[in-house]
Amino acid sequence: MTTTGKWHLAKTYRFKRYTTKACKTCRVKPECSKAKYGKAIQRSEYTELINQNKKRIEKKRLLPQKASNCRTSLWHYKTTMGV
């Protein structure tokens, strides 16, 4: 995929548009895209930050599960040892 490097403006952000010439000769293009010149992908200037945020949220979502496993183990230890 290639881009001209030009930033396009949406209402609240900028993006680059990526296209490919491979769509012109692809035999399954009608199933994939009705666009005359093939598929185009827009990549926001904030894409990297969005991906970092998703990873951070996923990591935080996993933390409570680890803590609950730790509490269960501590409870099991206390009840079996009579502590």
Q: Dump pLDDT digits (tens) for 32-74.
A: 888 877 788 899 999 999 999 999 998 887 766 555 555 666 6
* CA 67-71-74 angle, 5° bins: 140
Q: Tell me, what's the pLDDT at 11?
A: 92
Cα-trace Rg, the chain: 24
CB of 24 closer than 8 Å to CB of 38:
yes
The residues, any chain, with a CB within 8 Å of residue 5's CB and separated by 6 or more, are: 16
pTM over 0.75: no
In whole angstroms, what is the distance from residue 58 CA to residue 42 CA?
24
Q: Tell me, what's the pLDDT at 30?
A: 85
Q: Tell me, what's the pLDDT at 69?
A: 57
* CA 51-56-57 angle, 5° bins: 100
Residue 15: pLDDT above 70? yes
* CA 43-52-2 angle, 5° bins: 25
Q: Tell me, what's the pLDDT at 67?
A: 53
What's the mean pLDDT in 2-31? 88
